[in-house]
Amino acid sequence: MNSSMLDARTDILARLRRVLDDPRQMFRGPEDVRRPDVPMTVTRAEGDPLTLAKVFGENLEAVDGSYEIVADTGAVLKRILERVRLWEAESDQPQDSNGSKSREILSWDPDELPLPSIGQYLAEADVDLFVPDDLHDDADRKRAAAASIGLTGVDAAFAGTGSVVLAPSKGRSRAASLLPYRHIALVPMSAIYPTVEAWLSTLRREGRLGDFVRDSSQLAFITGPSKSADIELNLTLGVHGPKQIHAIVFDDRQ
Protein backbone atom coordinates (compact mmCIF):
# COMPACT_ATOMS: atom_id res chain seq x y z
CA MET A 1 0.00 0.00 0.00
CA ASN A 2 1.61 3.27 -1.10
CA SER A 3 1.76 6.42 0.99
CA SER A 4 -1.15 8.18 -0.77
CA MET A 5 -3.47 5.25 -0.07
CA LEU A 6 -2.33 5.20 3.57
CA ASP A 7 -3.02 8.92 3.88
CA ALA A 8 -6.52 8.48 2.45
CA ARG A 9 -7.22 5.54 4.77
CA THR A 10 -6.02 7.52 7.77
CA ASP A 11 -8.20 10.47 6.81
CA ILE A 12 -11.31 8.28 6.42
CA LEU A 13 -10.76 6.57 9.76
CA ALA A 14 -10.24 9.93 11.47
CA ARG A 15 -13.56 11.19 10.12
CA LEU A 16 -15.36 8.07 11.31
CA ARG A 17 -13.89 8.45 14.80
CA ARG A 18 -15.05 12.07 14.99
CA VAL A 19 -18.60 11.06 14.08
CA LEU A 20 -18.64 8.14 16.52
CA ASP A 21 -17.36 10.38 19.31
CA ASP A 22 -20.38 12.68 18.81
CA PRO A 23 -23.59 10.67 18.13
CA ARG A 24 -25.49 13.88 17.43
CA GLN A 25 -23.75 14.03 14.05
CA MET A 26 -25.19 10.64 13.10
CA PHE A 27 -28.84 11.39 13.80
CA ARG A 28 -30.47 14.60 12.63
CA GLY A 29 -33.48 16.00 14.40
CA PRO A 30 -36.60 17.23 12.58
CA GLU A 31 -35.29 20.78 12.65
CA ASP A 32 -32.24 19.72 10.63
CA VAL A 33 -34.15 18.05 7.81
CA ARG A 34 -34.89 20.25 4.80
CA ARG A 35 -38.15 19.23 3.22
CA PRO A 36 -38.42 20.19 -0.46
CA ASP A 37 -41.29 22.36 -1.54
CA VAL A 38 -43.13 19.71 -3.58
CA PRO A 39 -46.72 18.49 -3.57
CA MET A 40 -47.64 15.87 -0.97
CA THR A 41 -48.31 12.33 -2.16
CA VAL A 42 -51.98 12.64 -1.28
CA THR A 43 -53.51 15.67 -2.98
CA ARG A 44 -56.91 17.29 -2.99
CA ALA A 45 -58.65 19.93 -5.05
CA GLU A 46 -62.16 21.31 -4.86
CA GLY A 47 -64.30 23.88 -6.61
CA ASP A 48 -66.18 24.63 -9.81
CA PRO A 49 -64.63 23.94 -13.26
CA LEU A 50 -62.95 27.34 -13.48
CA THR A 51 -61.47 26.98 -9.99
CA LEU A 52 -60.18 23.50 -10.83
CA ALA A 53 -58.68 24.87 -14.05
CA LYS A 54 -56.78 27.53 -12.13
CA VAL A 55 -55.54 25.04 -9.52
CA PHE A 56 -54.45 22.69 -12.31
CA GLY A 57 -52.49 25.48 -13.98
CA GLU A 58 -50.86 26.65 -10.76
CA ASN A 59 -49.72 23.11 -9.95
CA LEU A 60 -48.42 22.68 -13.49
CA GLU A 61 -46.39 25.87 -13.10
CA ALA A 62 -45.02 24.54 -9.79
CA VAL A 63 -43.38 21.68 -11.71
CA ASP A 64 -41.90 23.95 -14.43
CA GLY A 65 -44.77 23.80 -16.91
CA SER A 66 -46.86 26.73 -18.15
CA TYR A 67 -50.52 27.30 -18.90
CA GLU A 68 -53.17 29.75 -19.97
CA ILE A 69 -56.95 29.73 -19.66
CA VAL A 70 -59.05 30.99 -22.55
CA ALA A 71 -62.75 31.72 -22.41
CA ASP A 72 -63.97 29.72 -25.38
CA THR A 73 -62.95 27.36 -28.16
CA GLY A 74 -62.79 30.15 -30.71
CA ALA A 75 -59.79 31.70 -28.98
CA VAL A 76 -57.88 28.43 -28.69
CA LEU A 77 -56.87 28.25 -32.35
CA LYS A 78 -55.37 31.72 -32.19
CA ARG A 79 -53.50 30.89 -28.97
CA ILE A 80 -52.03 27.72 -30.49
CA LEU A 81 -50.66 29.72 -33.41
CA GLU A 82 -49.30 32.43 -31.11
CA ARG A 83 -47.54 29.80 -28.98
CA VAL A 84 -46.03 28.17 -32.08
CA ARG A 85 -44.73 31.53 -33.30
CA LEU A 86 -43.34 32.37 -29.86
CA TRP A 87 -41.45 29.09 -29.64
CA GLU A 88 -40.23 29.46 -33.22
CA ALA A 89 -38.73 32.84 -32.32
CA GLU A 90 -36.91 31.24 -29.38
CA SER A 91 -35.82 28.16 -31.32
CA ASP A 92 -32.39 27.54 -32.76
CA GLN A 93 -33.64 24.74 -35.02
CA PRO A 94 -32.04 24.60 -38.49
CA GLN A 95 -33.59 26.39 -41.43
CA ASP A 96 -34.82 24.62 -44.53
CA SER A 97 -33.47 25.15 -48.05
CA ASN A 98 -35.60 28.27 -48.47
CA GLY A 99 -34.10 29.90 -45.38
CA SER A 100 -37.18 29.53 -43.19
CA LYS A 101 -37.63 27.36 -40.11
CA SER A 102 -39.63 24.17 -40.38
CA ARG A 103 -43.28 24.67 -39.39
CA GLU A 104 -44.36 21.07 -39.19
CA ILE A 105 -45.91 19.98 -35.89
CA LEU A 106 -46.01 16.38 -34.73
CA SER A 107 -49.64 15.91 -33.80
CA TRP A 108 -52.55 13.68 -33.02
CA ASP A 109 -54.98 13.29 -35.88
CA PRO A 110 -57.08 16.50 -36.05
CA ASP A 111 -60.22 14.40 -35.54
CA GLU A 112 -58.80 13.28 -32.19
CA LEU A 113 -58.10 16.84 -31.02
CA PRO A 114 -60.84 18.61 -29.03
CA LEU A 115 -61.32 21.40 -31.57
CA PRO A 116 -63.02 21.51 -34.98
CA SER A 117 -61.11 22.67 -38.06
CA ILE A 118 -57.78 22.92 -36.25
CA GLY A 119 -55.83 21.39 -39.12
CA GLN A 120 -57.34 23.74 -41.70
CA TYR A 121 -56.78 26.79 -39.50
CA LEU A 122 -53.10 26.03 -38.96
CA ALA A 123 -52.57 25.09 -42.62
CA GLU A 124 -53.82 28.54 -43.65
CA ALA A 125 -51.08 29.96 -41.39
CA ASP A 126 -48.47 27.72 -43.09
CA VAL A 127 -48.27 25.33 -40.13
CA ASP A 128 -48.69 21.69 -41.10
CA LEU A 129 -49.70 18.85 -38.81
CA PHE A 130 -47.78 15.62 -39.26
CA VAL A 131 -49.67 12.56 -38.02
CA PRO A 132 -47.41 9.51 -38.41
CA ASP A 133 -49.09 6.36 -39.67
CA ASP A 134 -46.32 3.98 -38.71
CA LEU A 135 -43.13 4.89 -36.87
CA HIS A 136 -41.62 1.62 -38.06
CA ASP A 137 -41.23 3.45 -41.37
CA ASP A 138 -37.82 5.13 -41.64
CA ALA A 139 -39.14 8.23 -43.40
CA ASP A 140 -41.85 8.75 -40.76
CA ARG A 141 -39.31 8.36 -37.96
CA LYS A 142 -37.05 11.01 -39.49
CA ARG A 143 -39.96 13.45 -39.90
CA ALA A 144 -41.12 12.82 -36.35
CA ALA A 145 -37.62 13.30 -34.96
CA ALA A 146 -37.28 16.63 -36.82
CA ALA A 147 -40.42 18.15 -35.27
CA SER A 148 -39.68 20.60 -32.47
CA ILE A 149 -43.31 20.96 -31.30
CA GLY A 150 -45.89 18.32 -30.43
CA LEU A 151 -49.64 18.89 -30.21
CA THR A 152 -52.08 16.62 -28.36
CA GLY A 153 -55.32 16.59 -26.49
CA VAL A 154 -55.69 14.86 -23.13
CA ASP A 155 -57.94 12.13 -21.79
CA ALA A 156 -58.01 13.75 -18.37
CA ALA A 157 -56.23 16.35 -16.27
CA PHE A 158 -55.87 16.44 -12.50
CA ALA A 159 -56.05 19.70 -10.61
CA GLY A 160 -54.44 18.28 -7.49
CA THR A 161 -51.11 17.62 -9.19
CA GLY A 162 -51.13 19.55 -12.47
CA SER A 163 -50.91 16.22 -14.32
CA VAL A 164 -52.48 15.03 -17.57
CA VAL A 165 -53.12 11.50 -18.80
CA LEU A 166 -52.88 10.47 -22.45
CA ALA A 167 -54.02 7.14 -23.87
CA PRO A 168 -52.26 6.51 -27.20
CA SER A 169 -54.24 4.69 -29.89
CA LYS A 170 -54.76 4.93 -33.63
CA GLY A 171 -54.47 8.59 -34.65
CA ARG A 172 -53.10 9.49 -31.21
CA SER A 173 -49.39 8.77 -31.51
CA ARG A 174 -47.53 8.80 -28.20
CA ALA A 175 -44.57 10.27 -30.12
CA ALA A 176 -46.35 13.65 -30.24
CA SER A 177 -45.97 14.03 -26.46
CA LEU A 178 -42.53 12.40 -26.17
CA LEU A 179 -40.26 13.24 -29.10
CA PRO A 180 -40.53 17.03 -29.64
CA TYR A 181 -38.63 19.56 -27.57
CA ARG A 182 -41.91 21.34 -26.75
CA HIS A 183 -45.41 20.02 -26.11
CA ILE A 184 -48.75 21.83 -26.37
CA ALA A 185 -51.58 20.06 -24.54
CA LEU A 186 -55.17 21.10 -25.24
CA VAL A 187 -57.17 20.70 -22.02
CA PRO A 188 -60.97 21.14 -22.03
CA MET A 189 -62.35 22.12 -18.64
CA SER A 190 -64.72 19.14 -18.85
CA ALA A 191 -61.65 16.87 -18.72
CA ILE A 192 -60.27 18.34 -15.48
CA TYR A 193 -60.91 16.30 -12.34
CA PRO A 194 -59.91 17.09 -8.76
CA THR A 195 -57.76 13.95 -8.52
CA VAL A 196 -56.94 10.79 -10.45
CA GLU A 197 -59.20 8.91 -8.04
CA ALA A 198 -62.15 11.12 -9.02
CA TRP A 199 -61.48 10.41 -12.70
CA LEU A 200 -61.31 6.65 -12.20
CA SER A 201 -64.46 6.77 -10.09
CA THR A 202 -66.28 8.60 -12.90
CA LEU A 203 -65.15 6.07 -15.52
CA ARG A 204 -66.24 3.21 -13.27
CA ARG A 205 -69.62 4.77 -12.50
CA GLU A 206 -70.28 5.35 -16.21
CA GLY A 207 -69.23 1.79 -17.06
CA ARG A 208 -66.36 2.96 -19.29
CA LEU A 209 -63.32 1.97 -17.23
CA GLY A 210 -62.85 -1.54 -18.62
CA ASP A 211 -63.21 -0.49 -22.26
CA PHE A 212 -60.95 2.52 -21.76
CA VAL A 213 -58.11 0.42 -20.38
CA ARG A 214 -58.54 -2.36 -22.97
CA ASP A 215 -58.64 0.07 -25.91
CA SER A 216 -55.49 1.94 -24.84
CA SER A 217 -52.07 0.65 -25.83
CA GLN A 218 -50.73 2.34 -22.69
CA LEU A 219 -51.49 5.21 -20.32
CA ALA A 220 -49.02 8.07 -20.07
CA PHE A 221 -49.26 10.22 -16.92
CA ILE A 222 -47.38 13.49 -17.49
CA THR A 223 -46.56 15.97 -14.73
CA GLY A 224 -44.61 18.87 -16.19
CA PRO A 225 -41.55 18.65 -18.45
CA SER A 226 -39.28 15.62 -18.49
CA LYS A 227 -36.81 15.77 -15.59
CA SER A 228 -33.74 13.86 -14.50
CA ALA A 229 -31.15 14.45 -11.79
CA ASP A 230 -27.67 13.05 -11.31
CA ILE A 231 -26.18 11.77 -8.05
CA GLU A 232 -25.47 15.35 -6.95
CA LEU A 233 -29.14 16.29 -7.54
CA ASN A 234 -28.34 18.61 -10.46
CA LEU A 235 -31.71 18.79 -12.21
CA THR A 236 -31.87 18.66 -16.01
CA LEU A 237 -35.03 19.24 -18.05
CA GLY A 238 -35.86 17.56 -21.32
CA VAL A 239 -33.78 14.40 -20.96
CA HIS A 240 -36.40 11.76 -21.74
CA GLY A 241 -39.12 13.94 -23.23
CA PRO A 242 -40.11 17.58 -23.86
CA LYS A 243 -38.25 20.32 -22.03
CA GLN A 244 -41.31 22.57 -22.15
CA ILE A 245 -44.99 21.73 -21.78
CA HIS A 246 -47.70 24.33 -22.20
CA ALA A 247 -51.36 23.64 -21.45
CA ILE A 248 -54.08 25.63 -23.16
CA VAL A 249 -57.14 25.24 -20.95
CA PHE A 250 -60.48 26.24 -22.43
CA ASP A 251 -64.15 26.22 -21.51
CA ASP A 252 -65.87 23.63 -23.70
CA ARG A 253 -69.17 23.61 -21.79
CA GLN A 254 -70.98 26.00 -24.13
Indicate the range of 138-142, 147-151, 153-157, 239-243 predicted with least confidence. Answer: 239-243
Q: Give the predicted TM-score (pTM) of the model.
A: 0.77
Residue 184 pLDDT:
97
Query: Using one digit for the tens of pLDDT, what is the confidence trace for 104-142?
Result: 999 999 999 998 789 888 989 899 999 988 788 888 889
Residues 165, 220 contacting (CB under 8 angstroms)? yes
Task: Assign 110 to helix, strand or coil.
Answer: helix
More confident: 17 or 232 = 17
Residue 156 pLDDT:
97
In this structure, the number of other CB atoms found within 10 A of the CB of residue 167 comes to 17
CA atoms within 13 A on the CB side of 67: 30
CATH number for region 47-93+100-250: 3.40.50.10420
Backbone angles phi, psi at 243, to 5 degrees: -85, -25
Residue 94 pLDDT:
47
Does the structure show a pLDDT above 90 at 102? no
Domain ranges of the chain: 47-93+100-250
